Amino acid sequence: MASALVVGVLLCGVWLGPHVSKAYKTCKVCPSGWAVFDGRCYLFNMQEKEWIDAELTCTSLGANLASLRDIRVLKFITDMIYTATGSSKKTWVGGHDAEGLWLWSDGSHFAFKDWAKGEPNNENGKEHCMEMNFKGKLHSKQNENFIIYKLLHIDAISSNMFPNIMFNFLLQESMSMMRSAQRRTLMFVPKT
């Protein structure tokens, strides 16, 4: 059974450091077309993607799906989406679960808890990725839109960066295996 693709939202965030204003605006430090909030740059781009394809698009840009560090980031992203689209489009963020343990795709600590009522529920064992703007809250879902953020300010590679580099490598490998398994599942036709 093929999954329906929903219009995707690409939101890239770039770490700029504490010297950058926390206001929602375009910043000269950010690449052209990006907006800055709380020391990170964000880019909004409409695309049709499944969660894994959204994350792979992000990593190809040196980015990840956005991690919602706190309610302020959620509000900023929600406002940004509404400004760009005129609606509260359902949108991917970097949350995904490892059978009940929720993680951010960038390897950062997962502490955000503003789920929609009854979520996460892994409905029919198929909801492993997080979307926002589901009745104004977070929701676990299999296929929806997406948001990305990117760490751009790196002075030098240090030993404390290794865990995130390794996490991203392992995430990409596990997602590749998931896609491969999904393809086999989609091509499997049981005998009647």
DSSP for 30-54? Answer: SPTT-EEETTEEEEEEEEE--HHHH
Q: What is the pLDDT of residues 10-64, one digit of tens each?
A: 444 444 444 444 444 443 477 777 777 887 777 776 777 888 888 888 788 777 8
Domain count, the chain: 1
What residue numbers bound the domain in which 80 lies? 7-154+167-179
Separation of alpha carbons 121 and 144, rounded Å: 16
pLDDT tier at 4 (50, 70, 90 boundaries)? Answer: very low
Nearest by Cα to 27 from 18, 37, 17: 37
Flag whether 2 is in a domain.
no
Copy the structure tokens of residue 68.
């919602």
CB distance 73 to 37 below 8 Å: yes
DSSP for 80-106? Answer: HHHHHHSS---EEEEEEEETTEEEETT
pTM for the whole thing?
0.61
CB distance 69 to 75 below 8 Å: no
Flag whether 114 is in a domain.
yes
Flag whether 162 is in a domain.
no
CB distance 24 to 79 below 8 Å: yes
Residue 60's domain is classified under what CATH number?
Answer: 3.10.100.10
Helix, strand and coil in the chain, % to nearest 5: 30, 25, 45
Compute the mean pLDDT over every residue in the chain, rounded to the nearest whole number: 65
Q: What is the pLDDT of residues 173-190, one digit of tens each?
A: 565 555 544 433 333 334
pLDDT tier at 157 (50, 70, 90 boundaries)? Answer: very low
Has residue 74 got a pLDDT over 70?
A: yes
pLDDT tier at 164 (50, 70, 90 boundaries)? Answer: low
What is the pLDDT at residue 152? 41
Copy the structure tokens of residue 88.
């509260």
Tell me the percentage of the chain whose pLDDT exceeds 70: 53
Flag whether 184 is in a domain.
no
Flag whether 161 is in a domain.
no
Flag whether 189 is in a domain.
no
Copy the structure tokens of residue 28.
């000269």
Copy the structure tokens of residue 163.
């865990």
For 183, residues 6+ apart whose C-beta sits below 8 A from its C-beta are none
Higher-scoring residue by pLDDT: 163, 34 = 34
Separation of alpha carbons 109 and 1, rounded Å: 34
